[in-house]
Amino acid sequence: MLAPLQTGAARFSSYLLSRARKVLGSHLFSPCGVPEFCSISTRKLAAHGFGASMAAMVPFPPQRYHYFLVLDFEATCDKPQIHPQEIIEFPILKLNGRTMEIESTFHMYVQPVVHPQLTPFCTELTGIIQAMVDGQPSLQQVLERVDEWMAKEGLLDPNVKSIFVTCGDWDLKVMLPGQCQYLGLPVADYFKQWINLKKAYSFAMGCWPKNGLLDMNKGLSLQHIGRPHSGIDDCKNIANIMKTLAYQGFIFKQTSKPF
């Protein structure tokens, strides 16, 4: 009975997709990236009895990038703040720009050298304990491994368009260049352009997410994934928010200004 069931499911999916296209009409293939598209599409589908799961079946417009590289650093910290701060968690998710699914993960912890002992405040905030950074590679070594990972994933191919995505400008405008300058390390060109998800969300939804990921998840009725201020969990939330906005028709564009 498996084949007839699969055939029936496929016909039902095609039927729903056909209905959705009729409901949305020209809006389904209209230029996107504006809040009106999202609200019009959502309201129209809801009015005709479509649930949230329908989003997975309605095709979304192609993005400008082949891949999005979702990044969220965690760094040494205290109250009052210590200087210089040092990156202690370095996660990247490779998000396919066509499917908005995660294809690969880079994740390493980093040994701080200026302030090698994590403060209780830092551990409470990030969930990172001393044993997780002791004996880990230095930032220079981690950056070398990032480059190796980028090459292995085909992201250094000039024909492949990719861009980093962060929740705010701090990671790539302040933290990484600041620590690299302090240590006398070069910053790779691929770290010099990015998408600030807060700005993208505000363009799509018409309001600024004052509380970052928490507000964006709430605004999109998404469940928060994992632990707040865990770098890898924050990346998963960013990826989920991006996928949701993309399925609503939003086109992601670079928000950073050239260095």
Residues with catalytic annotation? 74, 229
Smallest CA-to-CA distance from 245 within 210, 200, 214 is with 200
Q: Alpha-carbon distance 194 to 69, whole Å? A: 9
Sign of CA dihedral 241, 35, 192, 80: negative
β-bridge mates for residue 106, sequence order: 92
CA distances 202 to 12, 45, 206, Å, are 36, 23, 5
Q: Alpha-carbon distance 184 to 178, whole Å? A: 10
Sign of CA dihedral 216, 100, 97, 165: positive
List all residues 6 or more positions away from 241 whose beta carbon is below 8 Å from its beta carbon.
197, 201, 213, 216, 217, 220, 222
Give the start-end residues of each E strand in the chain. 67-71, 74-75, 87-96, 102-109, 162-166, 194-196
